[in-house]
Amino acid sequence: MRPSTDDGERFVHLHILGIAGTFMGGVARIAREAGHEVTGSDRRVYPPMSTQLEQAGIPLIEGFDPGQLSPPPDQVVVGNIMTRGMPIIEAMLNERLPYASAPEWLYEQVLSSRRVLAVSGTHGKTTTASMLAWILEKAGLAPGFLIGGVPLNFGESARLGVSPWFVIEADEYDTAFFDKRSKFVHYHPEILVINNLEFDHADIFADLAAIQTQFHHLMRMVPGNGVVIYPRDDEAVREVLERGCWSRRVEVAVDSGAPGWGFRLLAGDGSRFGVSRDGEAVGVVEWTLLGQHNVRNALAAIAAAETAGVPVAQSIAALAEFRGVARRMQLRGEKNGVRVYDDFAHHPTAIDATLRGLRAKVGNARILVAFEPRSNTMKMGVHQQRLGAAFQEADAVFFYMPPDLAWRMEDLETSVPARRFDSVNDLLDALIARSRPGDHILIMSNGGFDNLPARLTEAL
């Protein structure tokens, strides 16, 4: 155990199980920045998180052998990929080692003394939280943040920060094997953004109503002098609000003439749009991001920042410098006239929105999509009925179909030419053979996809 500092602050050794996920890796970086000794383990460790952890000086162990708990750390931080029956978990429990979930540790050690801005919802959490953190940074507020991706303006997914403000991506996924509540109930936000609500995470939620119940629990934790920011046109969000909201409400709307925050597209691809508040124009955003979905994300970030005291003009100026998030429609390279993008989309709504934004930008140029159904919900086939239509803006789709899927590509209803591949290598070869100058190739997966974006860019 590390000694206490002169002022009585006690540093400890934390061992983090499941450290390679973006959230868990972010918690590890914050703990290390706070002065704790941090080690961790996971089954698969790959960039960008492995790089971030190495840069932070955090030793990584491959696998979950129980021997890594000897000598015992001061506390084990347990990720939600860990389950009962795993030898290391059984050893932790049998030896009565102190343990906590990552959200629990984060609240007790960090968030309990901060002013928390939480960004929640099915889509756009990572991008909106990144925008918000960047706006606060440009306003000189030096916020802490923990985001489920790497904002390119910061180059890291998490930091402790030095101001009272802390921006966190508030995920509704469950907390740990011993706490099946959503992670976000631990965060106690002062300002809460709800981007949207749809059914997802079918491996832990039975239906949309079950997700709405978790959001209702979250709503109960926002103080009366706090703020809830939400879209006027989302029926599922409105149903949550009707169950109870004890905080000030701020609406984000599409109609720029309506009360609350609105926008008006000044460029079809979303690269330029007007911002209004209560029907009055307050500024114009010109930036590099695409799509109406990102415009809505930006509007929520502007509203949240204004609530935190940042003038709208400063938010607009910051968004003009916002570079996006790694793996969110990230241009990975251009070779021989072919542009390759990497995107995290794994839900039909997000896939459709991303492709619409790209189509508005590139016009009649060809868009080829390589797609990996990677999330548990996608593998279960929950979105099968909507998935085919989500690719309607593409010119061709190359599906990688791993053996553990509960559905077949042939069952999708799509008007877009589609090909099935059982091997990523074969898919790569087909993309290379099909591509031609002027094409835009979009790689879509919320997993590693066998490093396909980098391999394709190099091989073109």
pLDDT at 47: 66
Please compute Rg for the chain using Cα positions.
22
At residue 415, the pLDDT reads 83
Residue 158, Cα to own-chain centre: how many angstroms?
12
The confidence score (pLDDT) of residue 3 equals 37
What's at 354, amino acid-wise? Answer: T
CA–CA distance, 400 with 423 (Å, rounded to integer) = 7
What are the structural domain ranges in the chain? Answer: 13-103, 110-320, 330-459
CATH number of 13-103: 3.40.50.720
**pLDDT, one tens digit for every residue, the chain (460 residues):** 333 344 445 789 999 999 998 899 999 999 999 999 999 999 977 666 777 788 889 999 999 999 999 999 999 999 999 999 999 999 999 999 999 999 999 999 999 999 999 999 999 999 999 999 999 999 999 999 999 989 999 999 999 999 999 999 999 999 999 999 999 999 999 999 999 999 888 788 999 999 999 999 999 999 999 999 999 999 999 999 999 999 999 999 777 677 899 999 999 999 999 999 998 999 999 999 999 999 999 999 999 999 999 999 999 999 999 999 988 888 999 988 999 999 987 788 889 989 999 999 899 999 999 999 887 777 777 777 888 889 999 999 999 988 888 878 787 888 899 999 999 999 999 999 999 999 999 999 988 888 999 999 998 8
Count of beta carbons in the 10 Å neighbourhood of residue 356 = 19
Which residue type, as a one-letter code, is found at position 226?
G
**The tokens 């050794």 sit on which residue?**
13
> Tokens 């989500």 — which residue?
390
For residue 4, the model assigns a pLDDT of 39
Question: Hey, what are 162's tokens?
Answer: 């030095």
Residue 422: the pLDDT is 92
pLDDT at 349: 85
Position 100 scores a pLDDT of 98
Architecture field, domain 330-459: Alpha-Beta Complex (3.90)
Q: Which CATH architecture has domain 110-320?
A: 3-Layer(aba) Sandwich (3.40)
Give per-residue burial for 377-404: e unless 16+ CB within 10 Å, then b: bbbebbbbeebbebbebbbbbbbbbeee
Cα 226–chain centre separation: 23
